[in-house]
Structure 1
């Protein structure tokens, strides 16, 4: 079991009555595992992420689950690969001192998580309604 699964609190076996929820949570956990384990932010990382959502595409529930899981992982201090460390440092610069500020303002974890997604998965941000849309 990947360490993020415990943080994300995923069930170990699929629930027959909740296949959509299980798929969303499983996909989100897979996306977070890929992001946390990545060594380079390149086309291969993009392809790995797209492979997870190939059948369903990106949709609001999966993007929200990734954001929620990322926020929980940041709060728990999950170990990060180099790509996540780099994105975290960039996002944390915007938020402020990562080790002091969140203690006073817990919403900063969500803001940092959004910043990480802007850097590593901008399409997730767009699905959440933060990106530019052409109508």
Structure 2
């Protein structure tokens, strides 16, 4: 009768465990796939961001959507960037007005189908009234 070495008995078990541990599921990528791909989040002020495209630097695209009526502190409630009316109408619809005002009440910019919230002083406010939602495009 032959006797087996104890290490040879354990070798197949270790091999099976190694193969199974290599097959363990991995966390889904934050870009493009998985259950949260294309998900969005809503802030307390009603503005939303597309979490799939969100970037962290101040001047980058975050995919924000701003409701068409309201006042929003820049950059605390809405991020810097370029915005257009949803559906890209090219012209400002009747009854739709907007402005960017500084903390002293001076109007920095107003009206038009596009809004560029860039190169403006902090403590400014974006006010929009009677407009479709605004979507960030840059």
Higher helix share: 1
Please give the TM-score of this superposition, normalised by the length of structure 2: 0.25
Which one has the bigger strand percentage?
A: 2
- Per the normalisation by structure 1, the TM-score is 0.26
